[in-house]
Copies of this chain bind each other. A is one copy, B any other.
Amino acid sequence: MAQRNLPPVTPAGFQVLLALAGGRAHGYGIMGFVGEITGGSVQLGPGTLYRTLARLAADGLVQEAPGMSEDEPHDARRRYYQLTDLGRQVAVREAELLERLTAAAVDAGLLDGQARTA
């Protein structure tokens, strides 16, 4: 269980943390990722995205990462980010909250309560 005095995050902040939990990514990629996993129902605009990244970085939840990669073509414009240890702790805490809310939705009959891990 997480739950200490970790800093709070906004909804958009959690989306970014979740996108980065799978590995480092750059801003534009995060936008696409969020749109994908939410089926398009959540779409971060550039304003929200870069402001959120700046805040998360200032709070020590994410940090810029070296951009070298093998498979992907090098693009000097891209700035890659990755989770810090603190950022991962916060992401875990928020994920646990999500899980609790999902369970409550199942209890309330809003969901069937079976399918998992797409």
Q: How far is the CA of A3 from the CA of B39 in the complex (A)?
A: 10
Interface residue range, chain A: 35 or more
Query: Given the complex, which residues of B lie within 8 Å of A108, measured CB to CB?
Result: 18, 21-22
Q: How far is the CA of A30 from the CA of B105 in the complex (A)?
A: 15
Q: How far is the CA of A92 from the CA of B113 in the complex (A)?
A: 12
Q: When the two chains form the complex, which single residue of B3, B93, B100, B118 contacts A118, counting CB atoms closer than 8 Å?
A: B100
Query: Given the complex, which residues of B lie within 8 Å of A105, measured CB to CB?
Result: 18, 21, 91, 95, 98-99
Q: Which chain A residues numbered 21 to 59 have a C-beta less than 8 Å away from chain B?
A: 21-22, 37-39, 41-42
Scoring A residues 60 to 96 as 1 if CB is less than 8 Å from chain B, else 0, what string do you get? 0000000000000000000000000000100111011
Scoring A residues 1 to 31 as 1 if CB is less than 8 Å from chain B, else 0, what string do you get? 0010000000100000010011000000000
Query: Is B91 a contact partner of A103 (Cβ separation < 8 A)?
Result: no
Q: When the two chains form the complex, which single residue of B104, B109, B117 contacts A107, counting CB atoms closer than 8 Å?
A: B117
Query: Given the complex, which residues of B lie within 8 Å of A111, measured CB to CB?
Result: 92, 95-96, 99
- Known A-B contacts A100-B37, A100-B38; the reply to A117 vs B106 at CB < 8 A is yes
Query: Is A91 a contact partner of B110 (Cβ separation < 8 A)?
Result: yes
